[in-house]
């Protein structure tokens, strides 16, 4: 027979475990907050900008590449945490996000591409990155789901470049900020 104290401890531990598991399961992959350009505890290691006064130990304007996905790009900034040496790509956007709960799809795919590029260039996997708009910013976690989405988008793009017709799916979420909106896209008119 179990002692009552042991039973109580087991109940408390199982409740704590359930809460921890729920947090992990329910953890959002994208977190929206007010815009902040501060990166406390981090040092700038890369900038796409070319300032007049360059800092030592900062790489400026270099085109970064991923051999595995055959893509290249220049994130606006890459920071490295001083203590853990974690890499954080940061992309600044000129527009506003207003009351939308997620970043624009194209911006999200751009940051996902930078996750892969940065990992190959610096040999470290970024845990998260930031998309910063005028009014809000998003902390986006580098998940397998996001990387799969990127791989699918890249595959579709390459198929289209090779002449294959891809069945487009009109979607308010994906189309609302598209450059083709109200121009050549047949889905926008519906």
The dihedrals phi and psi of 25, each to the nearest 5 degrees, come to: -70, -40
Residue 174 has pLDDT above 90, yes or no: no
From the DSSP assignment, how many helices (H) and strands (E) are in the chain? Answer: 4, 9
Burial of 186 (0-12, 13-18, 19+ CB in 10 A): exposed
The stretch 13-32 carries a mean pLDDT of 58
The stretch 10-36 carries a mean pLDDT of 63
The pLDDT of residue 160 is 82
The pLDDT of residue 111 is 97
The pLDDT of residue 50 is 80
Residue 14 has pLDDT above 60, yes or no: no
Q: What is the DSSP string of 69-134?
A: TTEEE--SEEEEETTT--EEEEEE-SS--TT-SS--HHHHHHHHHHHHHHHHHHS---SEEEEE-S
Least confident of 15-19, 109-113, 129-133: 15-19
Give the predicted TM-score (pTM) of the model: 0.77
Residue 22 has pLDDT above 50, yes or no: no
User: Coil, helix or strand for 2?
Assistant: coil
pLDDT in tens, 69-119: 999 999 999 999 999 999 999 999 999 998 888 899 999 999 999 999 999
Instruction: Return the closest-CA partner of residue 44 out of 73, 84, 92, 76.
Output: 76
What is the pairing mode between strands 64-66 and 71-73?
Answer: antiparallel
Confidence of residue 25 (pLDDT cuts 50, 70, 90): very low
Contacts of 122 (CB under 8 A, 6+ apart): 78, 87
Q: Helix 105-122 vs helix 144-161: angle between axes, to the nearest 10 degrees?
A: 100
| 170 against 128, higher pLDDT | 128
Longest dimension (CA), the chain: 76
The pLDDT of residue 109 is 95
The stretch 156-181 carries a mean pLDDT of 74
């Amino acid at each position: 027979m179990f002692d009552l104290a042991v039973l109580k401890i087991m109940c408390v531990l199982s409740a704590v475990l359930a809460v921890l598991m729920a947090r992990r399961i329910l953890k959002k992959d994208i977190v929206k907050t007010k815009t902040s350009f501060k990166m406390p505890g981090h040092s700038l290691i890369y900038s796409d900008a070319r300032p007049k006064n360059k800092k030592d130990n900062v790489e400026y304007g270099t085109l970064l590449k991923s051999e595995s996905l055959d893509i290249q790009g220049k994130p606006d900034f890459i920071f490295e945490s001083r203590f853990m040496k974690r890499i954080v790509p940061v992309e600044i956007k000129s527009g506003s996000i207003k009351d939308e709960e997620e970043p624009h799809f194209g911006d999200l795919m751009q940051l996902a591409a930078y996750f892969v590029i940065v990992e190959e260039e610096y040999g470290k996997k970024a845990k998260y990155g930031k998309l910063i708009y005028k009014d809000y910013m998003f902390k986006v976690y580098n998940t397998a789901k996001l990387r799969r989405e990127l791989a699918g988008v890249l595959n579709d793009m390459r198929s289209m470049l090779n002449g294959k017709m891809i069945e487009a799916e009109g979607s308010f979420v994906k189309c609302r900020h598209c450059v083709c909106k109200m121009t050549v896209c047949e889905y926008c008119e519906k």
